[in-house]
Amino acid sequence: MTYSSLEFKKLTTKEKALKLNMDESIYGTMAEIGAGQEVASNFFKAGAASGTVAKTMSAYDMAFSDAIYGPCERYVAEERLMSMLDREYSLLNKRLAFKAKKTRFFAFADTIQTVNFKRTIQGHGWMGLRFQLHPMSQTNDLVIHVIMKDNDPVLQQQALGMVGVNLIYGVHFHNDPEEILISLVDNMNLGRVEIDMFRLEGPDYHHVDNRLMSLKLVKNGLTQAAMFGPDRKALQPSEALYKKNVITLRGRFRPVTLVSVDMLISGLRHYKKEEDVDNDQIMVLSELALTDLTDGGTIDENDFLDRVDVLCSLGQNVLISNYQQHYKLVNYLCQFTRNKKKGLIIGINNLERIFDESFYEDLGGGILESFGDLFGSNIKIYVYPALSRKDPTQVLTVKTFKPKPHLQPLYDFLIKNNKLEDIEAANTDNLQIISDDVLTMIQKDESGWEEYLPSKVSRDIKANHLFGYKGKMEQDNED
C-alpha cells in the first residue's frame, strides 16, 4: 500500500474538514439521526462550511423520520441508512442540477444509538456516503457499521464525528481502498471504535472485492471479526446472527476436501437433533482464523480469495476472526446469540489443544477460566474423528480421548453435561485425506488429487486456476 505524499503528515480532523470545505468541487448534504449532528459540526467549526455543506438535518422523532424516509422495523439499521442515502442524494441531484457540471455531489448519512444512561446498551450505528468522484459521473457507495467503545455518550459522539469526517475525506483524497479503510480511525486512540462491516461499491470501485476488505478490517485491527455471505457481500455480524442458532466449522479450507464437507454435513446433522435448536433459524458459519491465513508474518491475498471463492461457491457464510483460541471465538459469538444453542465442529486434534494447559498461561485462571467462556454458555462441541499418528489403523474419538489424569474429572464433567459429542456418522473411509498433501499435489500438477475433493471444488480449481493449479482447464460437459 502506498500512502500519498499528503499523508506523510496526517491532518487533524479540523484540517480535514477545512480542506474539504475549501474544495469548491465537493458539495453535499448531511443527515444524522441519534447522536447529534456531530459530523456536520466539525465542518461548521472548521470554517468555510458553506463551500461544502448544502444542508444538514436530523429527524429524531420516529414519526418525523418515517414521514421523511418511510416506515421501517428498526431505526438503527442498514435499511434505514440506505433509505436516507436514497432520499438525500435524490433531492440533492434534483434541486442542485445547475451545479452538476462542476460539482462532485455527496450525501452523507448516519443512524446511531449511543450508550444509554444506565450503560446497559453499547453504542453502535450505521454510517454511509453516496458520492461522485467526478462531476456528472455515476455514484458510488461506502457503508460501514461502527461500534463505539467509550463509556460516555459525549465521548461517543465525538468519536462518531471524527469517523464521519475521516470517511468523507478518505474517499475524496485517497485512491487505495485499504488506505480509505485505515484512515477511518485517524486521530483516534486505538480501541475507541470498532468497524466490523465495510462495503465499498460503485463504477469507480468495480475492482474492489469486499471480502478482501473484510479481511483487511481484521488484519488492520479495526475489528476482531468480519463476515460475508455466499453472494460475496459483506455482512454485519450482529444483524446476520441476530436470533440465530449458530453452528461453526473452524478450518483452513486450503482446499475444501471431502473431509471438510463431511465434517460440516455430519456435524450439522447432529446439531439439528438438539431439542433447543430451531431448524428454521440455523446459521452455518465457516470460520477462518487470521493465524491460519498468515505465512511468515504476511497474508497472501490471492490464497485467501482462492479459499473463500470455493467456500462461497458451496453456499457458505464466512467469518474471518482474530481468535486463535476456541474460547475467544465462542465468547465473541455469545454477544449476539447468548440465549440460543450454539454448535462448534472441530477435529479430535483440536480437542487435544483445548486440553493443553500451555495455551492458557496468559490467563490468571488458566484452563478453568478458558473453559468458563468456552463451555459456560449454551454450546455443544461436535468432535470429528481422525486417524492416530502412531497407529493409522486406530480411529481417535471422544470416547478414546484421554486427557492428563488431573484433567480427567473435568473431561468427565463435560461428557456428562452433554457439552462434547462424537460425530458418529463420520465417513471414516476419508480420514487419510490430508489437505496439505492435496494442496501439494495440485501445485505440482500430480494426478489423482481430484478424488479427494468434492467434484464442484475440483472443477472450480481447474476453471479458475486456484491454489497454484497450472494444468489445463477441462471442459465442463454437464448440462
pLDDT in tens, 53-104: 999 999 888 888 889 999 888 888 999 999 999 999 999 999 999 999 999 9
| Single-letter amino acid, residue 211 | R
Instruction: Give the pLDDT score at 136.
Output: 97
252 within 8 A of 289, measured Cβ to Cβ:
no
Helix (H) or strand (E) holding 169: helix 153-173
DSSP letter at 454 equals: -
Q: In sequence order, what are the residues at sequence separation of 6 or more whose Cβ sits closer than 8 angstroms to the Cβ of residue 101?
A: 135, 136
Quickly list DSSP for 325-375.
SHHHHHHHHHHHHTTS-EEEEEEHHHHHHHT-GGGGTTSTTHHHHHHHHHH
How many whole angstroms separate alpha carbon 261 and alpha carbon 370?
29
What is 239-430's CATH number, 1.20.1260, 2.60.40, 3.40.50, 1.10.10? 3.40.50
Buried b or exposed e, range 95-113, using 16+ CB within 10 angstroms: ebeeeeeebbbbbbbbbbb
How many whole angstroms separate alpha carbon 399 and alpha carbon 402?
8
CATH topology identical between 5-208 and 239-430: no
Q: Return the number of other C-beta atoms located less than 10 Å from residue 297's C-beta.
A: 5
Instruction: Give the pLDDT score at 63.
Output: 87
Instruction: Give the pLDDT score at 220.
Output: 96
Nearest C-alpha neighbor of 13 from the set 151, 167, 220, 126: 167
pTM of the model: 0.92
Phi first, then psi, for residue 17 (nearest 5°) are -60, -40
Instruction: Give the pLDDT score at 10.
Output: 85
Nearest C-alpha neighbor of 83 from the set 72, 97, 96, 94: 72
Instruction: Give the pLDDT score at 2.
Output: 40
Superfamily, domain 5-208: CinA-like (3.90.950.20)
Instruction: Give the pLDDT score at 432.
Output: 95
Instruction: Give the pLDDT score at 6.
Output: 42
Helix or strand or coil: residue 396?
strand
Domain edges within the chain? 5-208, 239-430
Q: What is the mean pLDDT of each run of 10 residues along the chain (479 residues)?
A: 50 97 97 89 96 92 88 88 96 95 97 83 93 97 96 93 98 97 95 96 97 97 97 95 94 96 97 95 96 87 96 97 95 88 96 95 94 92 94 93 96 96 93 96 95 97 95 55
CA distance to 89, 101, 102, 138, 219, per residue, from 98 (Å): 15, 7, 9, 17, 44
Measure the CA dihedral 351/312/292/370, to 10°: -40
Provide the grid cell at 351. Answer: 480437542
